[in-house]
């Protein structure tokens, strides 16, 4: 007999025999009748067992059970299996579970949950987080492929940093010192230049930032885009706004159950306000009496400004534009009208920056000049600037932090909840 998934059992006629497999999620021993809730990849199902069958069972064991499907309006989805044969196919070896996962919210601290990720991920709501995360990537890929983008993989072991080598992890690479890439920036630009024109990458990025906060991971998944033959940075913003609309539609279609579980309602259509950074800083000062750092918002400023935008524009998103030149990387294109600022932007979503993007310098001489202006040596970037000697089109791009986006969509409190196995300053296991 072929195994059925839990969600398939619901389609079966009453009194037909079925075979199911999964984990023991709950056990109710009532003496005269015994129930087990079986959990598999697709859902939870009630099994009715004899006392003898139930005797050896423990929570989270792996079992397979066969029996007839019957309707029972008291069971989940009105379905249960009257089990005739049961066997344990994955034994348990614990004295006690580290914490309970079958009683709604887990009461253990996040740290304890992460220490025992092998338990916490089993909780249906936690697992559902990663259904959303997978669908974000599916939507990202579909949206870009429709628009003639090519997916690439670029090296994560690199010889020098995009921004001078600060905040990078070093790797002992045979006889060299190498780094883990902070971003695929240089390489995605290269791929535009060699003729892919439009590329994207979904891959790991590494930041050796000394921050242990709710919004930082030291290893995260970056969804990167780079696009040639653009007019200006607004074309990149248009692309991202289009993606967010596409994404929300996709999630509403594919993850309605998960969104309901998290009590999230995604907007049908969004239009993202675009506001200059300096204007945002002025507003934050006027409205909230808070001064911002030069050329940026801090975490509190992002939060306050999001609040303002939500009230004024009824938008969870806002593009901040025209960042100060000295605060953006050397490859950022200066503005045409005011060369103290750049053709760059951040996207803030519910109080958190989830994207940095902009137009890049595409002219070799301009780039070399700018590297010097930043106090760096052009020769340290030869492998990068070589791209620009052979005809680089006007181009730009952006990066979206996958875990940040996941976190904000689901209103999670800590970015670690949006990573299967997060890496932070103190955590490299499990």
Site for a copy of itself in 223-242 (CB under 8 A): 229
Structure token digits, residue 8:
């398939």
What tokens appear for 19 in the block? 């075979």
The CB-of-21 to a copy of itself minimum distance in angstroms stands at 5
Q: Does 362 bind a copy of itself (CB under 8 A)?
A: yes
Does 43 participate in binding a copy of itself (rule CB under 8 A)? Answer: no
Taking CB under 8 A as the criterion, the residue among 264, 266, 270, 421 binding a copy of itself is 421
Cβ nearer to a copy of itself, comparing 3 with 291: 3
122 forms part of the interface with a copy of itself (CB under 8 A): yes
Q: Of 27-35, 39-47, 48-56, 78-86, which segment contacts a copy of itself by CB under 8 A? A: 39-47
Which residue of 117, 125, 290, 303 would you call a contact of a copy of itself, by CB under 8 A?
Answer: 117
Nearer to a copy of itself, 156 or 249 (CB): 156
DSSP state, 350?
Answer: T
Residue 370 found at the interface with a copy of itself (CB under 8 A): no
Bridge partners, residue 276, by sequence? 321
Instruction: Output the six-digit token pair for 270.
Output: 């969004």
Only one residue has tokens 């959990």, namely 39
Q: Which is nearer to a copy of itself, 106 or 318 (CB)?
A: 106
Tokens of 262: 């998290």
Cβ of residue 329: shortest distance to a copy of itself, in angstroms? 18
**Collapsing DSSP states into helix, strand and coil, what is residue 226?**
strand
Element (H, E) at 223: strand 219-228
Only one of the segments 103-111, 243-251, 277-285, 388-396 lies at the binding site for a copy of itself (rule: CB under 8 A); that segment is 388-396
Of 46-54, 218-226, 279-287, 322-330, which part binds a copy of itself (CB under 8 A)? 218-226
Piece of 74-82, 171-179, 310-318, 325-333 that binds a copy of itself (CB under 8 A) = 171-179
**In angstroms, what is the minimal distance from the CB of 14 to a copy of itself?**
25
Across-strand partners of 47? 36, 81
Rule CB under 8 A: is residue 193 a binding residue for a copy of itself? yes
Is residue 412 close enough to count as binding a copy of itself by CB under 8 A?
Answer: no
Instruction: Decide: is 351 part of the binding site for a copy of itself (CB under 8 A).
Output: no
* Residue 174, number of CB atoms within 10 A of its CB: 5
Q: Long-range contact list for 98-104, CB < 8 A, 24+ apart?
A: 102/25, 102/26, 102/37, 102/59
Quick check: 114 binds a copy of itself (CB under 8 A)? no
Binding flag, residue 173, a copy of itself (CB under 8 A): yes
Does residue 96 bind a copy of itself (CB under 8 A)?
Answer: no
Total number of residues that touch a copy of itself (CB under 8 A): 91
Distance between first and last Cα of the chain: 37
Q: Which residues of 84-116 are buried (b: 16+ CB within 10 A; e: fewer)?
A: eebeeeeeeeeeeeebebbeeebebeeeebbbb
Question: Buried b vs exposed e over 41-77: b needs ≥16 C-beta within 10 Å?
Answer: eebbbbbbbeeebbeebebbbebbbbbbbbeeeebeb
Residue 75 Cβ vs a copy of itself, minimum distance, rounded to whole Å: 20
């Amino acid at each position: 007999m072929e195994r059925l998934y839990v969600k398939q059992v619901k389609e079966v006629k009453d009194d037909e025999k079925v075979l199911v497999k999964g984990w023991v999620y709950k056990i109710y021993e009532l003496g005269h009748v015994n129930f087990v809730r079986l959990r598999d990849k697709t859902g939870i199902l009630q099994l009715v067992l004899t006392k003898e069958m139930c005797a050896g069972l423990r929570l989270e064991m792996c079992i397979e059970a066969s029996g007839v499907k019957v309707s029972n309006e008291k069971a989940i989805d009105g379905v249960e299996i009257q089990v005739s044969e049961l066997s344990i196919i994955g034994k348990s070896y614990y004295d006690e579970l580290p914490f309970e996962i079958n009683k709604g919210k887990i009461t253990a601290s996040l740290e304890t949950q992460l220490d025992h990720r092998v338990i916490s991920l089993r909780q249906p709501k936690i697992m559902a987080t990663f259904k959303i995360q997978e669908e974000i990537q599916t939507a990202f890929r579909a949206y870009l492929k429709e628009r003639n983008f090519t997916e690439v993989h670029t090296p994560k072991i690199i010889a020098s940093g995009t921004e001078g080598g600060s905040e990078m992890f070093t790797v002992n690479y045979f006889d060299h010192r190498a780094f883990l890439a902070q971003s695929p920036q240089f390489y995605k630009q290269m791929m535009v230049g060699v003729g892919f024109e439009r590329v994207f990458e979904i891959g790991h990025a590494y930041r050796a930032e000394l921050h242990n906060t709710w919004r930082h991971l030291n290893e995260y998944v970056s969804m990167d885009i780079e696009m040639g033959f653009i007019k200006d940075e607004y074309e990149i913003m248009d692309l991202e706004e289009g993606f967010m609309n596409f994404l929300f539609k996709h999630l509403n279609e594919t993850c309605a159950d998960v969104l309901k579980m998290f009590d999230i309602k995604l907007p049908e259509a969004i239009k993202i306000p675009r506001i200059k950074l300096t204007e945002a800083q002025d507003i934050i000062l006027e409205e909230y009496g808070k001064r911002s750092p030069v050329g940026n918002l801090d975490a509190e400023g992002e939060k306050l400004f999001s609040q303002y935008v939500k009230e004024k524009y009824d938008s969870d998103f806002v593009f901040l534009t025209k960042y100060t030149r000295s605060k953006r990387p050397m490859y950022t294109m200066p503005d045409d009208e005011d060369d103290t600022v750049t053709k760059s932007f951040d996207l803030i979503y519910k109080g958190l920056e989830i994207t940095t993007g902009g137009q890049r310098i595409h002219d070799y001489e301009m780039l070399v000049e700018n590297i010097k202006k930043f106090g760096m040596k052009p020769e340290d970037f030869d492998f990068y600037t070589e791209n620009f000697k052979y005809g680089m089109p006007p181009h730009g791009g952006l990066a979206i932090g996958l875990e940040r986006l996941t976190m904000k969509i689901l209103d999670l409190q800590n970015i670690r909840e949006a990573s299967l196995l997060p890496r932070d300053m103190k955590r490299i296991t499990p």
